[in-house]
Amino acid sequence: MSRAERATRAGRTRPTTMTVATVVAGTVIFLLLAIPLAVQVITAFRGPFLPFGVSSARWSVDNFATLWGLREDFWAVLGSTAAFVGGSTVLSLLMAFGLAWITVRTDAPFRRVISLLVIVPFIVPPIVKAQAYLLMLSPESGVLNQLIHLVPGMADVTIDPYSFPTMIVIQSLTNVTFPFLMIVPILTGMDGSLEESARVSGAGWGQTLRRVTLPMLWPGLLGVTVLTFILGLGSLEVPLLFGQESGKSIFALKLWTLISAGAGELPQYGLAAAWGCVFLVITTIAFVIYLRATRDAERRASISGKGFRPTTMKLGGWRIPVLLAVVVFTMLTAVLPLFALFWSAITPYPLAFSFEALRTQTQFGAFGEVLADGEFWASLGRTLIIAGGSATIACGAATVLAYGIARARATGWTRSMDLFASSSVAIPAVIAGFAMFLTFMVINPVIPLAGTIAALVIAYSYRVSIAYRAGFSATLQIRKELEEAALISGASRLEGFRRIVAPLLAPTVFAVWIQMFILGTNEFTLPAFLATPESRPLSVYMYAMINPRSAQLYAPDQGAAMALIFTLLVFAIGYGLQWLVSLRAIGRASRRGRVVASATDALGAAAAAVEATDDPDATDTRSVATEQVRELSRR
Amino acid sequence: MTTTADMTEARGGGRLVVDGLEKHYRLDGAEVPVVKGVSFTIEPGTFTSLLGPSGCGKTTTLRCVAGLETSDGGVISLDGRVLSTGSEHVSPDKRDVGMVFQNYAIWPHMSVFANAVFPLQVSAGKLPKKQARQRAMEALELVQLDAYAHRPATALSGGQQQRLALARALAHRPRLLLLDEPLSNLDAKLRDTMRNELRSLQQRLGITALYVTHDQSEALSMSDRVAVMNGGRIVQEAAPKELYFAPADRFVADFVGRVNLIPAVVRDRDANGDALVEAFGTKLVTPCPAGSGTGAEVTVTIRPESVRWHEASVDRPNLLAARVARVEFLGEIVEYEAEIVHEQTTVGRIVARGAPMDSPAEGSSVFLELAPQACRVLAA
């Protein structure tokens, strides 16, 4: 047989390495998402405790009957969850839209600084933020209440941290960065000429906004709304810290209390699973809305031409009020929380701020104690391992699968796998945490992973959809001819992938890796369900220190010090990694234009998008950065 | 030009034979044929174009030759080596061809040099480092990009990227060069320059080239042979002049250049063996159409530039009375449209072209001469 013949035969019969890799990656992702969800649904229908291996397990609808039996409670939870999640979603969207509009579409001063200040809280773990708000709002010693008392005529007004409206506001402030990161590219990517033609047709700013701009943005904003809603539904931090005292039972907290049984009782996994099923149905509906919205958004986006630039709105006399609003926002989301944490770290017990107290009471021992605490370093190490490991698994599998699917001919299989791999955005973190917890309990007799670091790595990887969507759109941006040219030049498919595709995908993959890594270090909800003292990451250890109920660990000053140290560390690691990459990228950037440098900049991408509007040569930079953020923030 | 000699010494162009090529696409479960039995041969060192409207299957044919599409039937062979049968296919990297893509497909993360040297670094054409470098530089010299070797590829202009794509396609000295509408993204002036450069380079290297385009002037000016495709088939394969002056059917006549299509009926045959046909109510003398007898319906074609006009009736065959309906000044030529008048009624229209200095006035009555040797008769 001649060489040519052999090559021919081989090409037809043996599946290529790429195909095998795609199938393996697809299987990993499928199992990662499907098994926990299946276990949770089965648990809902099999008895009050675990679904397998216990005597009480049998098929029944008892859990749903119980749920219905307690329907007053059910409706109450549903109502307060809707109010809490819905209210905070609307509020954070309004804030995010306002801020994004200010930074992208107006001539407000310090726009770059503003967008950076909004983005920075992204790296502060939500549990730390929630704790900081708790400190800020303390009726006796909270700095925010102190500030309010300074306002003339409001000396008697005190914000109650445990009131329901306060909770909603705090939740929206905690989550506002997320919709901001998604709205900025939507605004930046808008085709300015459509607005201009409306203006030329005689419409004023207001009319243009109402009749052209908002209808154009609507599908994109709807998508952001859905994702913010699911994010809010899934986060345990604020409900856990505030909800217990407020007496309002919110879904995330309800799930949490159902499975952390009091002494002498069995935890009600079955009932919790039934709750989970109900809310999965809700988020699935939301996910379908999201899919339709993004499809519409993509359709509308494709209308836009190249080289457009949305016009900026002249603020004129509004500059001062706008700037004031931004200052208030920044005080609330960055300055005061950090100050409250710092104050808490340097005072031995909750103490109102005064210069007297500053002179006589402060001590910096907490920082030293934290640094001397072996458990701090151990949990920090675990945090880095879990965040890094899960980011690597998720990015690796998702990129391979995304590449395979984006390049495959569309069949029913690839379409359903595409949908499935994108679907983890629809799973609220509490449900994911609970489902993973059940799964590791169920398989523990066979594969003893429950409570281990490995279990946490697997659980954190459930956010694989972020990496999948990013990898998918990055692959689509690599024109197929680039690979075909490699083939024609005599490179095998593998060589083509290694030398052409991989280097072109790398900036995106790395940016997503950093983002998932930071998300991982911030994660609290998942380990709250899964971690044991031996495997707990820093976020959980920190919570134990600030939680008065964990008697022997309770040390709020150390908790606050730890939160500050940790935030600094994450900041340093995240930006350090990016800096390393951009060092490499700068070398190339001089060759390749500025595209790479900003593409690697996951956190700075939105900032880059904002900067680019000031720079007439940066259309490419902007479109790449825009695409990056849009994809990165799909979760 | 030592470089040129170096480039050609190793290997002359290959002989490409495509025989009965078939290709279907699946669309909503149905098989849609795109290429329906295309056959042609390209002799070593010659330049052949596939010309046709979009969707005619020309690019698919090219991609089948490249191996980027797997054909569903027919045989493709290069220098006697079978590349593709309906069921077995040599993968593109083992076909020994070079290709220039419509959008260049320059790798943005590499320098100009890295792009050009790539084919000499990968498995099929791997050379020792030093030799690879030398060859790549030769290829860049060929397209006058050697001075830009260490620039980032994306810093090149459109025309330069085009040339780099060409250098890359030639670097591993393939037997066959495939070009997929390589000039369509360039502006008009650059396109003309590149057309000449491409053709002279191909002739100097003596490489076999297969060129796909929808632009008839590109095909006519560069090619040794042109195959006109329509609906997945080759409708005519010929040298450019033959194609233009002796189109095989109405489609080719109409697609290649502009043409007047005049419906006519064969009436008789004259002493010279020419045909007498009736068109516009008048008898015209035309070359004799093959195989159509008296009474057959035919189409008489004549190129606009072959139509001559006279102010008054002259003693020439095929003279038609006409009124000039529209005159359009196009710079180097004037195009005018005349209504043919027969017994006081308008019976048809003829488009004609002439020198700008010498054109009839709009609205004037003229006589148009359709010289018999300029006419061609096609089956209706």
Across the interface, whether the CB atoms of B109 and A504 are under 8 A apart is answered yes
Q: How big is the A-B interface in CB pairs under 8 Å?
A: 111
Nearest CA in chain A to B82: A4
- Residue A622 pLDDT level (bands cut at 50, 70, 90): very low
Contact criterion met (CB < 8 Å) for B93 and A492: yes
Of A39-53, A291-305, A445-459, A613-627, give the lowest mean pLDDT range: A613-627
Contact A462, A502 (CB under 8 A): no
As a whole number, the mean pLDDT across chain B is 88
Are the Cβ atoms of A592 and B111 closer than 8 angstroms? no
* Model confidence, pTM: 0.81
Above pLDDT 70, what percent of chain A? 86
**Residues of chain A that touch chain B, judged by Cβ-Cβ distance less than 8 Å:** 4, 7-9, 11-12, 479, 481-482, 484-493, 495, 499-500, 503-504, 588, 590-593
Task: Look at A205-209, B184-188, B200-204 and tell me which has the smallest mean pLDDT.
Answer: A205-209
Prediction ipTM score: 0.82
Q: Six-digit token pair at A16?
A: 């290529």
Contact: A11, B89; criterion CB under 8 Å: yes
User: Cβ–Cβ contacts within 10 Å for residue B130, how many?
Assistant: 8
Q: Which helix (H) or strand (E) holds B289?
A: none
* Nearest of B53, B42, B31, B99 to residue B76 by alpha carbon: B42
Residue A54's pLDDT is: 77
pLDDT digits (tens, 9 = 90+) for A547-562: 777 767 788 888 889 9
- Residue in chain A lying closest to B106 (CA): A482
| pLDDT top residue among A179 and A550 | A179
Of B66, B108, B172, the CB nearest to A490: B172
To the nearest whole Å, the CA of A372 is away from the closest chain B CA by 47
B172 contact residues in A (CB cutoff 8 A): 489-490
Are A488 and B98 an interchain contact pair (Cβ–Cβ within 8 Å)? yes
Nearest to A592 among B96, B108, B124 (CB): B108
Q: What's the CATH number of domain A15-632, 1.10.3720.10, 3.40.50.1100, 3.30.1360.120, 3.40.50.2300?
A: 1.10.3720.10
pLDDT for residue B376 is more than 50: yes
Question: What's the pLDDT at B192?
Answer: 87
Tell me: pLDDT of A165 over 80. Answer: yes
A592:B91 CB<8 A: no
B107 chain-A contacts, CB cut-off 8 A: 482, 485-486, 500
Give bridge partners of residue B262 from the DSSP assignment.
B300
Q: Do B89 and A592 touch (CB under 8 A)?
A: no
* Nearest CB to A490; choose among B66, B119, B155: B119
Residue A504 with chain B: CB contacts under 8 Å: 108-109
The DSSP element (H or E) to which A39 belongs, if any, is: helix A17-45
Residue A187, both tokens: 């605004």
* Residue A299 scores a pLDDT above 80: no
| Minimum distance, in Å, between the CA of residue B272 and any CA atom of chain A | 56
Closest-CA residue to A488 (of B207, B47, B128, B115) = B115
Q: What backbone torsions phi and psi does residue B107 show, to the nearest 5 degrees?
A: -75, 115
Residue B98 is predicted with a pLDDT of 92
- Taking only the tens place, the pLDDT of each residue in A353-409 is 888 878 887 888 888 888 999 999 999 999 999 999 999 999 999 999 999 998 887
The phi, psi pair for B324, rounded to 5°, reads -75, 115
Given a cut of 60, whether residue A571 has pLDDT beyond it is yes
What are A428-467's pLDDT values in tens digits? 999 999 999 999 988 988 888 888 999 999 999 999 998 9
Q: Residue B351 and residue B373: Cα distance in Å, rounded?
A: 18
* Residue that the structure tokens 């519409």 belong to: A296
Q: Which residues of A touch B89 (CB under 8 A)?
A: 8, 11-12
Q: What angle do CA A37, A43, A46 make, to 5 degrees?
A: 145
The yes-or-no verdict on residue A5 having pLDDT over 60 is: no
A419: Cα separation from own chain's centroid: 19
Cβ contacts of B168 on chain A, cutoff 8 Å: 485, 489
Which residues in chain B touch residue A484, judged by CB atoms under 8 angstroms apart?
Answer: 66, 68, 92, 99, 101, 105
Structure tokens at A122: 């992204």
Residue type (1 letter), A77: V
Closest CB to A500: pick one of B87, B93, B107.
Answer: B107
- The reported pLDDT for the residue numbered A614 is 35
DSSP state of A410: P
What DSSP character marks residue B361?
P
Which of A149-158, A486-495, A575-584 shows the highest mean pLDDT? A486-495
Measured distance CA(B144)–CA(B377) in Å, rounded: 48
**Cβ neighbours of residue A82 closer than 8 Å, sequence gap 6 or more:** none
Query: Cβ separation of A591 and B119 shorter than 8 Å?
Result: no
CB contact under 8 A, A488 and B90: no
**Alpha-carbon torsion, ordered B211, B215, B219, B221, to 10 deg:** -130
Contact B88 A503 (CB under 8 A): no
Candidates B106, B122, B168, partner chain A, best to mutate (most A CBs within 10 A):
B122
The residues spanned by each domain of chain A are: 15-632
Q: What is the pLDDT of residues A230-263, one digit of tens each?
A: 999 998 999 988 887 777 788 998 888 888 766 6
Report CB contact under 8 Å: B89, A12.
yes
- Which pLDDT does position A592 carry in this prediction? 41
For an interface test with B, give the residue of A407, A411, A488 to mutate (most B CBs within 10 A): A488
Within a 10 A sphere around the Cβ of A9, how many other Cβ atoms?
12
| Mean pLDDT calculated for residue range B133-150 | 92
Cβ of A12 and B66 within 8 Å?
no
- To test the contact with chain B by mutation, choose from A12, A479, A489 the residue with the greatest count of B C-beta atoms within 10 A, namely A489
Instruction: List, for residues A323-337, the tens digit of each pLDDT value.
Output: 888 888 888 888 888
Which of A7, A484, A491 is opposite residue B122, by nearest beta carbon?
Answer: A491
pLDDT in tens, B259-317: 999 999 888 877 777 888 888 888 888 887 666 678 888 889 999 999 999 988 888 88
Task: Work out the minimum CA distance from B115 to partner chain A, whole angstroms.
Answer: 10
Alpha carbon of B178 to those of A398, B101, B203: distances in Å?
A: 36, 8, 15
Say whether B90 and A7 touch across the interface (CB within 8 A).
yes
Residue among A491, A503, A591 minimizing CB distance to B93: A491
State the pLDDT confidence band at A591, using cuts at 50, 70 and 90.
very low
Least confident of A380-389, B5-14, B20-29, B180-189: B5-14
Give the lowest-confidence range in A580-589, B121-130, B157-166, B243-252: A580-589
* Mean pLDDT for the stretch of residues B96-101: 92
- The number of residues making up chain A comes to 635
Closest partner residue to A592 (CB to CB) among B95, B96, B109 is B109
Give the residue from chain A lying closest to B103, CA to CA: A481
- pLDDT confidence tier of residue A6, bands split at 50, 70 and 90: very low
Backbone angles phi, psi at B108, to 5 degrees: -70, -20
Neighbours of A397 (CB within 10 A): 24
Provide the pLDDT confidence category of residue A602 given band limits of 50, 70 and 90: very low
Please, which contacts does B159-162 make with residues 24 or more away whose CB atoms are closer than 8 Å? B159/B186, B159/B190, B159/B193, B159/B194, B161/B104, B161/B106, B162/B100, B162/B104, B162/B186, B162/B194
Tell me: pLDDT of A621 over 50.
no
As a whole number, the mean pLDDT across chain A is 81
HEC string of A489-541?
CCCCHHHHHHHHHHHHHHHHHHHHHHHHHHHHHHCCHHHHHHCCCCCCCHHHH
Residues B107, A592: C-beta atoms closer than 8 Å: no
What pLDDT is recorded for position B296?
A: 84
Cα–Cα distance between A193 and A306 in angstroms, integer? 10
Nearest to A516 by CA among A393, A402, A420, A418: A393
Q: In angstroms, rounded to a whole number, what is the distance separating the alpha carbons of residues A169 and A159?
A: 12
Closest chain A C-alpha to B126 CA, distance in angstroms: 9
Residues of A in contact with B125 (CB under 8 A): 489-490
CA A4 – CA B95 distance, rounded (Å): 9
User: Considering only alpha carbons, which residue of chain B is nearest residue A6?
Assistant: B90
Of B88, B109, B169, the CB nearest to A503: B109
pLDDT at A458: 95
Determine phi and psi for A84, rounding to 5 degrees.
Answer: -70, -55
Domains defined along chain B, listed by start: 2-96+174-253 (3.40.50.300), 258-379 (2.40.50.140)
Torsion of CA A78, A79, A83, A84, to 10 degrees: -50
